Amino acid sequence: MLSNTQLIKQECKRLGFDYCGISKAGFLEEEAPRLEAWLNNRMQGEMGYMERNFDKRLDPRLLVDNAKSVISLLLNYYPKNKQTILDYKISKYAYGEDYHEVIKEKLNELLLFIKQKLGDVNGRAFVDSAPVLDKAWAKKSGLGWIGKNSNLINKQSGSFYFIAELIVDIDLEYDNAIKDYCGTCTKCIDACPTDAIVEPYIVDGSKCISYFTIELKENIPGDMKGKMDNWIFGCDICQDVCPWNSFSIPHHEKKLDPVPHLLEMTKNDWEEISEKTFSRVFKNSAVKRTKFNGLKRNIEFVKPWQPI
């Protein structure tokens, strides 16, 4: 007879999640001073939400009453087909439908399954929707280690994964963290064109291309001109150069397949994109987060200068 933990992990697999790890809910003692130092150094830039709910960010028991377990889940988003016209690039995670919606649906199914099988369980699903340190919990539950680029790296298949959590008020069997396998490698640090990885394991969010193209609402600083490597939504550089991502395999989630026409978009298509086309192509995509005007700003910023 399967244990409660085995039943949950089996259901996670059925729902299409690639990995599931479980850790005991509690205060993240190791992460607390790191988060405090990161915020004190203003590495959050204009991401004001990172400054709020400091205590909740470090203790899931403040998010779910009587929380006992954090179920961490990974969903692969590495695409079979990638952009080949590279005048303007978007991050691979944004090729398909908005991952928030795709994963939330699966998590709600998982929570319903747990309640049906185990009875009156109180739980809450999280996909970038609340102050949860998802990488820290995934690390604690043995799904990988935090790399020098601050991404979670899975030993079997790299870092192109969405991370989500289900925090529940039942005790389960807990997994153990694994060791760090980055070794002496500095490929991610060396490759970052904006020097956002200020030292191993510390990323200055306010210098990151993803921050400039998504989070920043004002103009991109002029000193970033020529350093954006044609990225107009997000950035995959530190993941693309990571040796562990040589083990990446294409995902099997149809909703994450590239939205129609995305991979065929030419330099002119991007530069001449209308608000109507933006709304049609990116209607169900994470790219809509930057809004039409934000995308146009990013395109104009990385567009090569041409003499009149």
Number of H helices, E strands in the chain: 11, 10
248 touches 78 (CB < 8 A) = yes
User: Mean per-residue pLDDT for 93-99?
Assistant: 96
Amino acid at 262: L
Amino acid at 198: V
Domain positions in the chain are 4-78+95-168, 187-302
Choose, from 65, 87, 128, 223, the residue flagged as catalytic: 128
Average pLDDT of the chain, as a whole number: 93
Rounded distance between C-alpha atoms, residue 77 and residue 33, angstroms: 31
Catalytic (active site) residue 128: yes
- Whether the predicted pLDDT of 6 surpasses 70: yes
pLDDT (tens digit per residue) in 36-59: 887 787 777 676 666 677 788 899
pLDDT (tens digit per residue) in 129-157: 778 899 999 999 999 999 999 999 999 99
Q: Tokens standing for 235?
A: 């950035």
Residue 95's nearest CA partner among 109, 76, 106, 79 is 79
